[in-house]
Amino acid sequence: MSTPHKSAEPLAAPSRRSYVPIRDYALIGDCHGAALVALDGGIDWWCPERFDTEPVLWRLLDAEKGPIFEIFPEDDAEMERAYLPDTNILRTVWTTRSGRVAVTDFLPVGRAPAAAADDYVTLSAPGWLVRIVEGVAGRVAIRVRYRPAGASFEGAAPADVPKYEGRSETRVLYISDGPPEGLLAAEETIEFSDGEERAFVLAPASAASTAPADEIRRLLGITYAFWKEWCGRCWYHGPYGGAVRRSALTLKLLTFAPTGAIVAAPTTSLPEEPGGTRNWDYRFSWLRDSAFVLQALAALGYSGEARRYCEFLRLCCVQTLPGLQILYGIRGEKELRERRLDHLNGYDGSRPVRIGNAAYRQKQADIYGELADWALLYHALGEPLDATLKQILRGAADYIAVHWREPDQGIWEMRGEPRHHVHGKLMSWVALDRAIRLLGPNPAWETEREAVLQAVLGPGIDPDGGYLRQAFGHREPDAALLLAPLLDLPLPPDLLARTVDAVERRLREGDYVRRYRTPDGLPGGEGAFLICSFWLVDALLELGRAAEARSLFESLLTKGNDLGLYAEEVCPHDGAFLGNFPQAFTHLALINSAIHLQLYENKGVEALAGTHADRAKRTAVAREAIWQDINGDGSRTNSRSSVLDLKLTSSPQPGRPETETQRGCP
């Protein structure tokens, strides 16, 4: 369960405000789209039905023009919030001088009747955003404000910009016991006494007459049962269970159910530097990010997501073989043209706002290795390599065998001149090695694999410091090289130790690690990338520096927001979140580090040897031992909580018992 957050001081009613800190947001979603709920009761971002559609709520990127949907007490109030235990349903409790009121925010999601075990879809209410307000004690006046956008988010889009299916029709706000025609705009003060309840729903205009109060309660119960069931399948029972489950739930929120695609983040253009121009659209599926996410989820026992992702690979990767794009649209789109929305002010004045991402045209050698490494793990956990996946692996290995000597933009998508990135060379070796392991001997692949290794051991090493450097001809290290100890590369242990030391000397600032310090073709600066700090945890463990690793990890657990969510970056000086939020990269790294710490605790550094597949198999063995110990026969018992447990405080139950509300959900 999320630890309820209490505001340090009473929050004034937000009758007019501009931007709130990124860390003040919560994420809710339905495995199709997502919304951000601010600490003060405003929903400032919502893309319904698909992550990359034109948003319905977007005050996040323009406080003046953006639409408003707020629910908050009229009087000054103290606030506490948390996710309902092991769900993505947010509950906020406001306490004023006159009483208390609770707001429950969610996007309806469930399992369709008779669907496959891992087929999750929005149920009965596609594209709905539901906010239930309940009187808890006394009497509280609540202000509800809804103002549709006065201008278009995307402006006058050129005719050649693709308009994805699922683009939102007009949304209207309606109240569960209000007029059936709905409200196009609303600002109303409503008093809630103990036990009184209303639901405010932002939904397609066509749905305004289809959701009486009992339907809203049914959807809450189904959504609650869905998240509890999914989270209950997580095998991890180590000391960091709360953080691991929250990260897993966040990663699940970032999956697009219709195709199995995984987005890097649900937002666009949140700045990497306050007021800066490094503002990118992350609402697409990166092969690298997805491979890392699936490694983390597979280690937790979620194999269904991996199977769905294979379907996504069939959808998109075969279109571009033997080459691969680094990212695709969430329905497999190849072209993701980048546009600037110069009519928008951007988050806190950080311009430009961008949609689309020009990085889809870049060459990045490391993605071939990451995809092949994931395939090895996928197969090691008992999944078959079908003809399509073999075709992708063979095409990737053939491509790398020919092109590994070419420079590229690297894992960090630099927009300057291409370089011979050492991390890319290491992953080229991995691409060839994993293809040989999975598809059998191939003399051409074996020859090129050895050639890659010799290149790394030559110009890939700094001649004075003896560490792996960012790129041939560049002396600086790169945080991506912290991954090297985890790849089962035939590199000398002292070389890996010197590389970790070099990264710490040049890039570490307290608990934070910067990606690099070399010019990258872009103006301005950025924060420290949180994933790099978790990579350092893993590298320290691999080197046997377990006490340092655990200390750093436990410190990093305090760096998330009050709900356990992490952004892409953080300012090392004040801890402010930077970049798109929440970020899949950061959450998957947290999960992996927690698993690695547990492996080390159980079996020592030897348990971390080998590939991700080797570690996942050891984790699976440990998991089976846990269930054997719990049940005596290796079976698993899912403990289910009742919807009676939905309360953060002594408030009325916000739903019927789960046995009633989960009908149609196996």
Q: Look at residue 316 in the predicted model and tell me its pLDDT.
A: 87
CA distances to 463, 467, 504, 524 from 459, in Å:
8, 11, 21, 30
Percentage of residues of the chain with pLDDT beyond 70: 83
DSSP type of residue 268? B
- Quick one: CA torsion of 90, 349, 583, 32, rounded to 10 degrees? 60
Q: Is the pLDDT of residue 410 over 90?
A: yes
Q: Is the pLDDT of residue 303 over 90?
A: no
Instruction: Give the class (CATH, top level) of 241-629.
Output: mainly alpha
Which residues make beta-bridge pairs with 188? Answer: 144
Window from 1-5, 171-175, 471-475, 503-507 with minimum mean pLDDT: 1-5
Window from 161-165, 326-330, 367-371, 523-527 with minimum mean pLDDT: 161-165
- What values do phi and psi take at 326, rounded to 5? -80, -25
Do residues 201 and 174 lie in contact, with contact meaning Cβ atoms separated by under 8 Å?
A: yes
**To 10 degrees, what angle do helices 241-253 and 584-603 make?**
140
Highest mean pLDDT pick, 127-136, 145-154, 298-307, 530-539: 530-539
Q: Is the pLDDT of residue 488 over 80?
A: yes
Q: Is the pLDDT of residue 163 over 70?
A: no
DSSP type of residue 139? E
**To 10 degrees, what angle do helices 422-439 and 443-457 make?**
150
* Residues with Cβ within 8 Å of residue 523, at least 6 apart in sequence: 276, 277
Neighbours of 254 (CB within 10 A): 28
Q: Is the dihedral of CA 531, 536, 539, 545 positive or negative?
A: negative
Helix (H, G, I), strand (E, B) or coil at 370: helix
- What values do phi and psi take at 102, rounded to 5? -120, 145
Helix (H, G, I), strand (E, B) or coil at 513: strand
* pTM of the shown model: 0.90
Q: Look at residue 188 in the predicted model and tell me its pLDDT.
A: 86
Domain ranges of the chain: 5-232+641-661, 241-629
Q: Is the pLDDT of residue 561 over 60?
A: yes
Q: Is the pLDDT of residue 649 over 50?
A: no
More confident residue, 432 or 380: 432
Do residues 242 and 96 lie in contact, with contact meaning Cβ atoms separated by under 8 Å?
A: no
DSSP type of residue 84? P
* Residues with Cβ within 8 Å of residue 605, at least 6 apart in sequence: 541, 542, 544, 546
94-127 pLDDT, tens digit per residue, is 999 999 999 999 999 987 554 444 554 545 567 8
592-648 pLDDT, tens digit per residue, is 999 999 999 999 999 999 999 999 888 888 766 655 554 554 444 443 333 323 343
- What values do phi and psi take at 256, rounded to 5? -100, 105
Neighbours of 474 (CB within 10 A): 17
Q: Look at residue 180 in the predicted model and tell me its pLDDT.
A: 45
Residue 225: half-sphere exposure toward Cβ, Cα within 13 Å: 22
Q: Which of 351, 334, 333 is nearest to 342 (CA)?
A: 351
Q: Look at residue 637 in the predicted model and tell me its pLDDT.
A: 43
Is it true that the peptide bond before 126 is cis, omega within 30 degrees of 0?
no
